[in-house]
Amino acid sequence: MYKNLGKAKIIRKENKLFDIEFYSEMLGPPGTKGEFLLSPVFGDQTDEDVMNKLNDTSLREFKVTASLSKRIEFDRKIEGSINVEDGDSFWLAKDEVLSSKLKTKVGIYRLFINKNNEISKIEYKCKTTSIVKAQNLFFSGITPLLDVISYKAGIPLIISRIICMDIKHAISSIIYESPHKPIAIPPFTETLIGEMFPIYALYREAKVNTSSYYKFLCFYKILEGIFSKLRPQLMKHAKDLGINLKCKKEVVPNHYLIREYNEDFIGIKIKKLFDDVLTKQFRDAVAHFVLRDGTLLNLTDYNTNRKFSSVLFLTEFCCRIVIDNQINLFYKFYSNKKNEKS
């Protein structure tokens, strides 16, 4: 999860609305989950005053608001408020009411209904000591219920947006997915390599999905497919034909986002990262569904989701390095093979 702290420009719009203008680099890599912490600064308050608010551990009130959706969509913009008509769902209210209450072990959740009589917004208030703890309380109470309702009714229930407000300090946390930027793609004329089609398919599958677990598995399977299948087969085939192929060195690069969020892995071999970290700490948990302590992996658990989100950019970046190298190996192989025939 990419946590953003930085100064932004507030632009006043019509109807007492505001836009926040900031550098896109603050958002993290496109398609990855992040969190904005927005704090108002009054008068002669300093950055230290803001940090003191963020680090306050006193017991105080928080409000968490979530929007439901019928579909999984990629964010085009990041909004700082959630209205009842912003959301929708396949979960209908029994009666035509404006809201209802849901009692759980962590407190009361208020359910709001849109004009189509659909549960569209969830609000939760609690007393705790930090935004993270308030978010954890919210998810620990509501996600098991949504999971059960999804099963009982056979419907998808999607939380699309989350905002957490520290009432005492007026600090808002906005969980978002970094928007993708439109890009012009020039015509390409290189020969398509059939052996790479399953790899391209896995990559696109990861990019069109918003689940951190599924995205990770797609990227992991790309590395697994190349390291355990495509590359050994190609190297053996090349050796049998007397073609000398050498792969470029594959190490985790010193990219500024990797440096900020996964610095410990910079410079190590991608194959070692794959074997020692991605396989043992992440892939085994998803594939086997049983964690090292014997408990089952809960895919809707907030902290588990954050853990997988934290390695998505690292894994994708390494995938692209390995994919590019594998493509070059195929080009060299087929080029040498063609020259031998001629």
Determine contact, residues 69/88, Cβ cutoff 8 Å: yes
Report, as an integer, the average pLDDT of 11-25. Answer: 52
Q: What is the mean pLDDT of residues 222-250?
A: 94
* Among the ranges given (25-34, 287-296, 298-307, 326-335), the one the predictor scored with the smallest mean pLDDT: 287-296
pLDDT score of 23 more than 60:
no
What b-and-e string marks burial along 224-245, b requiring 16 or more CB atoms within 10 Å of the CB? bbbbeebbeebbeebeeeebeb
* pTM of the complete model: 0.76
Once rounded to an integer, what is the mean pLDDT over residues 103-107? Answer: 91
Q: What is the mean pLDDT of the chain?
A: 83
Predicted pLDDT at 35: 80
Residue-level pLDDT at 25: 55
Q: What span, in angstroms and rounded, lies between the C-alpha atoms of 54 and 33?
A: 20
Can you give the residue ranges of every domain in the chain?
2-43+56-177, 194-341
Radius of gyration of the chain (CA): 24
Whether 103 has a pLDDT exceeding 80, the answer reads: yes
Token readout for 302 is 């907030």
Residue 1's pLDDT is 45
Q: Over 60: is that where the pLDDT of 308 sits? A: yes
Q: What does the angle CA 317 – CA 23 – CA 77 come to, to the nearest 5 degrees?
A: 85
Residue whose tokens read 């005492």: 168
> Per residue in 258-275, pLDDT tens?
887 789 999 999 999 999
Instruction: Provide the pLDDT confidence category of residue 95 given band limits of 50, 70 and 90.
Output: confident
When comparing pLDDT for 291 and 72, which is higher? 72
- Token readout for 277 is 């970290």
Mean per-residue pLDDT, 129-157: 92
- How far is 310 from 258, CA to CA, in rounded Å? 10
Residue pair 258/314 in contact by the 8 Å Cβ criterion: yes
Q: How far is CA 194 from CA 65, 98, 149, 330, in A?
A: 47, 56, 44, 10
The dihedral through the CA atoms of 137, 140, 145, 150 has a sign that is positive
What's the confidence (pLDDT) of residue 266? 95
pLDDT at res. 317:
94
Note whether 102 and 111 are within 8 A (CB): yes
Of 179 and 57, the structure prediction assigns the larger pLDDT to 57
Q: Is the dihedral of CA 17, 23, 28, 31 positive or negative?
A: positive
Composition of the chain by helix, strand, coil, percent to 5: 45, 20, 35
Between residues 284 and 219, which one has the greater pLDDT? 219
Counting residues of the chain whose pLDDT is more than 90, the rounded percentage is 46
Can you tell me the distance from the alpha carbon of 290 to that of 296, in angstroms, rounded to the nearest whole number? 5
Nearest to 223 by CA among 309, 322, 313: 322
Mind listing the pLDDT tens digit for each residue in 156-198? Answer: 998 988 999 999 998 988 887 777 777 888 777 778 899 999 9
